[in-house]
Chains A and B, each alone.
Chain A
Amino acid sequence: MRRGRTKKPEHASRKMQNTSSRRPGLIALIKNYFLRHMQVMFYSIGQLSRTPFSSLMTSAVIGIALALPSAFFTLLDNVQTLSLGWDGNAQISLFMKYNVSNSDAQKLATKLRMRQEVKLTRFISREQALEEFRTHSGFGDVLDVLEKNPLPAVIVVVPATTLDTPDQIETLLTSLKNIPEVDLAQLDLEWVKRLHALLETAQRGITILAVLLGLSVLLVVGNTIRLGIENRRDEIVITKLIGATNRFIRRPFLYTGIWYGLIGGLLAWSAVFTTMMLLKAPVNRLADLYYSQFTLSLPGLENALLLVFSGALLGLAGSWIAVGRHLQDIEPT
């Protein structure tokens, strides 16, 4: 494509060219192409380093814009791992109907254990229940007054670990409720549901924030590149006069955009990493107070790569927009 486009005018011009230069081979052409890109790459970073302060400012704006959603996502990830811990504790208490005998209930417990979605069951006979109640509740004396044991047998069902969403647990719960012997099935799942809903809301919110901040990165890069183009208006005119294609003129600006984004991404990552490092100690102390094994996990390498890559991509897109809009307007007069 690239070659094809340049070829035609070369043919047309050959008629008037009195000195025909040696035609380089394909490999040499490809080599030259990459070499030229490398040159532009280093040239553009050289340009940036000439004005280190303003370059860093632009990158820092990008960095902060990327760091905000990234930090939120990392925190959200952490909270999500925290909420995953609930499934070990989730258990459903099945209160048998009063007329169900201990032995029938025991049989039911054994039957339930066979089910795939059940990890284990624990049978509590009516007598055991009474005993437990007596020791734990402090109403032992009151129970002595009663002639009969008022407590039903209970089967405690622990769901299999494969059920990890509230919905799946809910399904199990309803199926257990429908067993004829069961009077009442109880599960305190409300907090899990609420937490999940909260996390989903947060995730949606942060995604929107990320999109908005991503847009702002586009605008920041676009505007910076636009200023760069304005500052180099004369240079662009001159290079156009001596035969530069738009592609040639565009290239350093695109690389500049990539550098801004890339450095912004790096800054963002270091900001997120520092934030997490600073939060780690207090969070661990907090977790200790709740007897939790939870520790804040730091963003990993793939997180860093993602940030740098998306920064570079946004930088490229932003400069592309600016270049596309403004380079066309600059023509020699």
Chain B
Amino acid sequence: MILFENVSKTYPGSHEALSNVSFHLHRGDMAFLTGHSGAGKSTLLKLIALIERTTRGQILIGGQNLAGVTKRKIPYFRRNIGIIFQDHRLLLDRTVFDNVALPLIIAGLDYREITRKVRAALDKVNLLNKEKQLPATLSTGEQQRVGIARAVVNKPPVLLADEPTGNLDPELSEEIMKMFEQFNQVGVTVLIASHDLELIKRMQHRTLVLGKGKLIAQFPEEDS
């Protein structure tokens, strides 16, 4: 589902943020991406979401080569990827419901279907009773869950999360991770960037370790 082949990324006038990274996540895999800050975790996720372009090598998502996705097609490509941010990035002047509905509105669904899907997504993150509230009235954990609901409401085949538990205490982190596992169980390919090694160890999923832009270790070893 996510295939990296000798991918390198050099920012203009800077060092190599990623160098010669290759790995393959199959459909329905769940994996962690870890490493020190500055190791290239964010860059790797940005390449998948087409926020940045590779300098060398190629990335295939669901069999589609990202080099072939023109600027005009990027929005449509991104609709197949749910992204969760550390700072949740909600629209603060809109209700929880409207925030979660946004991807569906963008996709042009009709109102009834939007209502149904938003409720379903909010139900999965246990926030159904808060749909009319503004994000600012929610706790950090709840805000993050709204972000997750928004990322999954469109049922994207790929879910990316950048430090989703960075601002949360261990208990809440565990809860969030359990949610990711649930999505993974229904076939979503999940890639989570995190430096919370304790948590990663407990979760026992595949782990990619980045160091200074290089893929320095994988647990368990890739069998293909």
Judge if A228 is at the interface, Cβ distance under 8 Å: no
In the complex, what distance in Å separates the CA atom of A238 from the CA atom of B89? 7
* A residues in contact with B78, CB < 8 Å: 240-243
CA distance A191 to B164 in the complex (A): 84
Contact B106 A15 (CB under 8 A): no
Does residue B215 face the partner (Cβ distance < 8 Å to A)?
no
Given A18-B187, A238-B91, A332-B51, verify A244-B106 contact (CB < 8 Å): yes
Stretch at the interface among B59-67, B169-177, B192-200, B204-212: B59-67
- 8 Å CB contact of B51 from A5, A12, A245, A333: A333
**In the bound complex, do residue A242 and residue B80 qualify as a contact, i.e. CB atoms below 8 Å apart?**
no
Residues of B within 8 A of A333 (CB): 51
1-54 of chain A: CB within 8 A of chain B: 5-6, 8-10, 12-13, 15-19, 24, 28, 32-33, 35-36, 39
A246: nearest chain-B partner, CB-CB: B75
A242–B104 alpha-carbon span in the complex (Å):
10
Q: Is the CB of A13 within 8 A of B80?
A: yes
Least Cβ distance of A89 to chain B in Å?
68
Q: Could you tell me the distance between the alpha carbons of A242 and B105 in the complex, rounded to whole angstroms?
A: 11
Q: Does A235 contact B (CB under 8 A)?
A: yes
Minimum distance in angstroms from A10 CB to a CB of chain B = 7
Q: Does A86 touch B at the CB level, under 8 Å?
A: no
Q: How far is the CA of A245 from the CA of B106 in the complex (A)?
A: 8
Q: In the assembled complex, which residues on chain B have CB atoms less than 8 Å from the CB atom of A8?
A: 73
Q: Which of B65-115 contact A (CB under 8 A)?
A: 69, 72-73, 75-80, 83, 89-91, 102-103, 105-111
> Roughly how many angstroms separate A244 CA and B69 CA in the complex, as a whole number?
15
A128 at the interface (CB under 8 A from B): no
Bound Cα distance from A243 to B50, whole angstroms? 11
Q: List the A side residues contacting B80 at CB < 8 Å.
A: 13, 16-17
A239 at interface, CB cutoff 8 A: yes
Q: How far is the CB of A265 from chain B (nearest CB, A)?
A: 29
Q: How many residues of B are counted as interface, with CB atoms below 8 angstroms from the partner's CB atoms?
A: 35
Residues of B within 8 A of A332 (CB): 51
Chain A: interface size category: 20 to 34
With both beta carbons as reference points, the residue of chain A lying nearest to B89 in the complex is identified as A238
Q: Which residues of B are found within 8 Å of A36, using beta-carbon distances?
A: 105, 108
Interface residues of A in 209-255 (CB under 8 A from B): 234-235, 238-246, 248
Q: Is the CB of A19 within 8 A of B155?
A: yes
Any chain A CB within 8 A of the CB of B49? yes
Bound CA span A248–B108, Å: 10
The one of B64, B79, B109, B158 in contact with A243, judged by C-beta atoms closer than 8 angstroms, is B79
Docked pose: A333 CA to B43 CA in angstroms: 10
Instruction: Point out the residues of chain B lying under 8 angstroms from A5, CB to CB.
Output: 72
Residues of chain B lying within 8 A (CB to CB) of residue A245: 75-76, 106
User: Which listed residue, A13, A15, A19, A241, touches B89 by the CB 8 Å rule?
Assistant: A241
In the bound assembly, the distance between CA atoms of A332 and B47 in angstroms comes to: 12
Whether B157 and A243, one on each chain, are in contact in the complex, defined by CB atoms closer than 8 angstroms, is no
Q: Which residues of B contact A32 (CB under 8 A)?
A: 108-110
What 1/0 flags go to B135-176 for Cβ under 8 Å of A? 000000000000000110001011000000000000000000
Q: How far is the CA of A13 from the CA of B1 in the complex (A)?
A: 12
- Expressed in whole angstroms, the minimum distance between the Cβ of A43 and any Cβ of chain B is 10
Q: List CB contacts (< 8 Å) of A59-113 with chain B.
A: none
- A contact residues around B111 at 8 Å (CB): 35
With a cutoff of 8 Å between Cβ atoms, the chain B residues found around residue A17 in the complex are: 80, 157
Q: How far is the CA of A241 from the CA of B78 in the complex (A)?
A: 7
Report chain A residues within 8 Å CB of B1: 16
CB distance from B71 to the nearest CB of A (A): 9
A235 partner, pick from B69, B77, B91, B103, beta carbons under 8 A: B91
Chain B: minimal CB distance from A236 (Å): 11
A13-B77, A15-B62, A15-B63 known; A243 vs B103 contact (CB < 8 Å): yes
Residues of A within 8 A of B61 (CB): 16
A242 touches B77 (CB 8 A): no
Residue in A28, A39, A242, A332 whose Cβ sees the most chain B Cβ within 10 Å = A242
Q: Which residues of the partner chain B approach A10 to less than 8 Å between Cβ atoms?
A: 76
In the complex, which residues of chain A have a beta carbon less than 8 angstroms from the beta carbon of B102?
239, 242
Which residues of the partner chain A approach B83 to less than 8 Å between Cβ atoms?
A: 241-242
Could you say which residues of chain A place their CB within 8 Å of the CB of B77? 9, 12-13, 243
Contact: A244 with B75, CB < 8 Å?
A: yes
Q: A16-B61, A241-B49, A245-B75 are in contact. List 4 more A-B contacts (CB 8 A).
A: A6-B76, A12-B64, A242-B151, A243-B77
By a beta-carbon cutoff of 8 Å, the part of chain B in contact with chain A is: 1, 49, 51, 61-64, 69, 72-73, 75-80, 83, 89-91, 102-103, 105-111, 150-151, 155, 157-158, 187
9 interchain pairs (CB within 8 A)? A13-B62, A15-B62, A238-B89, A239-B102, A242-B79, A243-B79, A244-B106, A248-B75, A331-B51
